[in-house]
Chains A and B, each alone.
Chain A
Amino acid sequence: MTNLTSIRDEELTAFLDDELDPNRREAIEAALQIDPLLSRRLDSLRIPRDDIASAFDVLTTMAPETPELPQTESVKTRGSFLNLAAMAACLLIGGLAGSLFSSKSGQRDGWMDYVAAYQALYVNETLSTITQSETQGIKQLEQLGEVVGRDLNGARSVEGIDFKRAQLLGFEGKPLVQIAYLSPRGEPMALCIIRSKAATDSAIKTTRLEGMSSAHWTRRGFAFLLIGGDDDRFISEIAERVSSSI
Chain B
Amino acid sequence: MSRDVNTRGDRIIRHFTKKSSEVEIRERLPEVFPRLWRYAFVITGNRDLASDLAQATCLKAIEKSGSYQTGTHLDRWLFRVAQRIWLNDLRAQAVRRGNGLQPVEEIEIRDTGTNTETNYFAREVLSLVGALPEAQRATVLLVYVEGFKYAEAAEILGVPIGTIMSRLSAARKTLNARIGNQDRNAS
Contacts and interface: CB of A to CB of B under 8 A. Distances in A.
Contacts of B8: 117, 120, 210-211
Nearest to A44: B176
Contact of B109 (A45, A58, A97, A102): A58
Contacts of A58: 107, 109-110, 122, 126
Contact of B145 (A19, A56, A75): A56
A78 interface: yes
B62 A70 contact: yes
Secondary structure of the A contact surface, majority rule = helix
A48 B162 contact: no
A61 B15 CA distance: 37
B80 interface: no
A224 interface: no
Interface string B38-80: 1001100001000100110011001000000000000000000
Contacts of A51: 121-122, 125, 183, 185
Contacts of A72: 22, 62
B58 A67 contact: yes
A75 B19 contact: yes
A241 interface: no
Contacts of A66: 29-30, 33, 58
A47 B132 CA distance: 14
A82 to B, nearest CB: 9
A69 B54 CA distance: 12
Interface residues of B, number: 67
B93 interface: no
B12 A99 contact: yes
A46 interface: yes
Secondary structure of the B contact surface, majority rule = helix
Contacts of A48: 179, 181, 183, 185-186
Interface residues of A, number: 51
Interface in A40-73: 43-56, 58-64, 66-67, 69-70, 72
A81 interface: yes
Interface string B109-122: 11000000000011
A96 B13 contact: yes
Interface in A16-52: 16-17, 19, 43-52
B62 A69 contact: yes
B72 to A, nearest CB: 17
Contacts of A54: 122
Interface of B: 1, 4-5, 8-9, 11-13, 15-20, 22-23, 26, 29-30, 33-38, 41-42, 47, 51, 54-55, 58-59, 62, 107, 109-110, 121-123, 125-126, 129, 140-141, 143-145, 147, 149-150, 162, 165-166, 168-169, 172-173, 175-177, 179, 181, 183, 185-187
